[in-house]
Amino acid sequence: MDTRLLRTFTALARTENFTAAAEELHVAQSTVTVHIRDLEKELGTRLFDRLPRGARLTSHGHRLLARAEEVLDAEARLRAAADDGAPLSGRIVVGAGETLCSSLLPGVVADLRAAEPGIDVQIHAAGTAEAVEGLRSGRVDVALLLEEEAGAPDVAAQAVTRLPLVLVAAPGHPLAALDRPVTPTDLAATEVFLLEEGCSYSDALAHELSALPGERPRTTRFGSAEAARTCVAAGLGVALLPGVAVDQALADRRLTVLDGPGAPDVAVLIARHRARWTSPAAHAVTDALERGLRRGAAGRGLVLTRA
């Protein structure tokens, strides 16, 4: 069997879109169509339902997807063994939250590209749930999670650093003028901007506020730390965010740190799929991320975790 057909199959399963799959594989959309048609003919079964908004795996497609990934994994192992000693190469997708994508990650990836030009490092902005699902589907090779644990038994994760969390407001916000620490009751009386559900520290604060007797806290969820930061800087409310997401705004005095309910530092995890083979290029990327995140955290005065 031509493994190119399997590669197209798994790409279309991930993207659920013929155009997106073609872009990922760097081929024409017609090539994707032909590959899927040929594979369905060879296997004697329909793998996808063609719908107006994309392609969805059939029950047979779902059943065969894991087997196709196993074949491609074995092919990758074989090629790696044959290329032993050759310069590292390959496309490695790193999934990470927007906070890391805009703060610590760019410098690390730039250094890695300079040191290993044969490795094509792609950054995919994704929240925890999307990054974990990306590891499972194979769309993401390595994930960086701002969580205490990955929350999935098939995902292996290692903490490499911790990021301080800060409660921030605009300097002119009423809570910034208090001569005492901010209480949960104070927060429940104002607008609180949180990151999307599934973000552990945002969920913890939301739970604490909702548990207050007689209070109906006003919370707004965002998928982006930048969106929350912008709303806070405009004086619309307060937010609990990693310090690296607001350090420049604090330096520019567009935001100020409130003395309020303490929140533990949040771990940065490097995660991968337990069962999927890790290529030499992926190992190099993982090692570079670990070194770079530790170095970047130390440079910003953050808290390091030794494995």
Tens-digit pLDDT profile for residues 132-169: 888 887 788 999 998 888 888 889 898 988 888 999 99
Low-confidence residues of the chain: pLDDT under 50? 301-307
- Rounded distance, CA 46 to CA 9, Å? 12
- Written as six digits, the tokens of 187 are 């927060």
Q: Report the b/e string of 131-143 with b at 16+ CB within 10 A.
A: bbbbbeebbbbbb
- Rounded distance, CA 143 to CA 120, Å? 16
Residues whose CB falls within 8 Å of the CB of residue 39, separated by 6 or more in sequence, listed in order? 5, 6, 8, 9, 47
Sheet holding 155-163, edge to edge: 119-125, 90-96, 142-146, 266-273, 155-163, 303-304
Q: Give 90-162+267-304's CATH code, choosing from 1.20.1260.10, 3.40.190.10, 3.50.50.60, 3.40.630.10.
A: 3.40.190.10
What's residue 35's pLDDT? 95
Q: Are 293 and 108 in contact (CB under 8 A)?
A: yes
What's residue 307's pLDDT? 33
Ramachandran category for residue 253: left, alpha or beta (phi over 0 → left; psi -120 to 50 → alpha): left
How many beta carbons lie within 10 A of that of residue 115, not counting itself?
Answer: 11
Give the strand pairing for 90-96 and 142-146: parallel
Q: Are 52 and 37 in contact (CB under 8 A)?
A: no
Give yes or no on whether 3-82 and 90-162+267-304 have one common fold: no
What's residue 53's pLDDT? 83
Residues whose CB falls within 8 Å of the CB of residue 67, separated by 6 or more in sequence, listed in order? none
Place of tokens 């894991």: 66
Does 1.10.10.10 match the CATH number of domain 3-82? yes
What's residue 134's pLDDT? 86
How do the domains of the chain map onto residue ranges?
3-82, 90-162+267-304, 165-264
- Written as six digits, the tokens of 151 are 């929350």
Q: Are 21 and 32 in contact (CB under 8 A)?
A: yes
- Rounded distance, CA 191 to CA 205, Å? 13
- Rounded distance, CA 303 to CA 264, Å? 11
Does 3.40.190.10 match the CATH number of domain 165-264? yes
What's residue 301's pLDDT? 46
* pLDDT tens, position by position, 165-216: 999 999 999 999 999 999 999 998 999 999 888 788 888 899 998 888 876 7
- Rounded distance, CA 156 to CA 169, Å? 36
- Rounded distance, CA 90 to CA 74, Å? 16
